[in-house]
C-alpha cells in the first residue's frame, strides 16, 4: 500500500531538495502536483515538455538526472502495441 503524504509537505520537500538545475526542481514540483490530482502520474514526454517549457530532449535529460539522483522513481510501461507513458513518483525518503 502506498503511503500518502500531505500535499503541502510534499511541495515543501520538493522546494528544499538539492537539485542540479532549477528546471529539475520545477519538474519535481510538477510531479508533486500531479500526484495530488491523478491516481497515477503517467504524463507523456510531450506533456511534460509543454508544462515545464523545455524541449523533449531536455525533459529526457531531467528525468534521467532526477532518476539517477534517486529523487524520482520511473516505471517504464508497455501496452499490447508497445511502449506507453512511464509512471513517475517522487521518492520522498531520498528527497529529504
The pTM of the full predicted model, rounded to 2 decimals, is 0.85
pLDDT at 15: 92
Task: Outline where the chain has alpha helix (H).
Answer: 7-16, 22-37, 45-52, 56-68, 92-95
- Res 46: pLDDT: 95
Which set of grid coordinates corresponds to residue 19?
Answer: 537539485
What pLDDT is attached to residue 1? 43
Contacts of 39 (CB under 8 A, 6+ apart): none
Per-residue pLDDT of the chain (96 residues; tens, 9 = 90+): 456 788 889 999 999 999 999 999 999 999 999 988 888 899 999 999 999 999 999 999 999 999 999 999 999 888 777 778 899 999 988 888
List the Cα angle 37/43/48 in 5-degree steps.
Answer: 105
DSSP letters, 67-83, are HHTTSEEEEEEEETTEE
Amino acid at each position: 500500500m502506498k503511503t500518502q503524504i500531505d500535499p503541502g509537505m510534499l511541495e515543501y520537500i520538493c522546494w528544499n531538495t538539492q537539485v542540479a538545475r532549477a528546471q529539475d526542481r520545477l519538474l519535481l514540483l510538477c510531479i508533486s502536483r500531479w500526484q495530488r490530482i491523478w491516481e497515477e502520474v503517467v504524463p507523456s514526454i510531450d506533456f511534460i515538455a509543454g508544462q515545464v517549457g523545455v524541449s523533449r530532449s531536455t525533459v529526457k535529460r531531467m528525468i534521467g538526472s532526477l532518476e539517477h539522483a534517486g529523487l524520482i522513481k520511473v516505471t517504464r510501461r508497455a501496452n499490447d502495441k508497445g511502449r506507453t507513458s512511464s509512471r513517475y513518483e517522487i521518492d520522498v525518503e531520498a528527497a529529504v
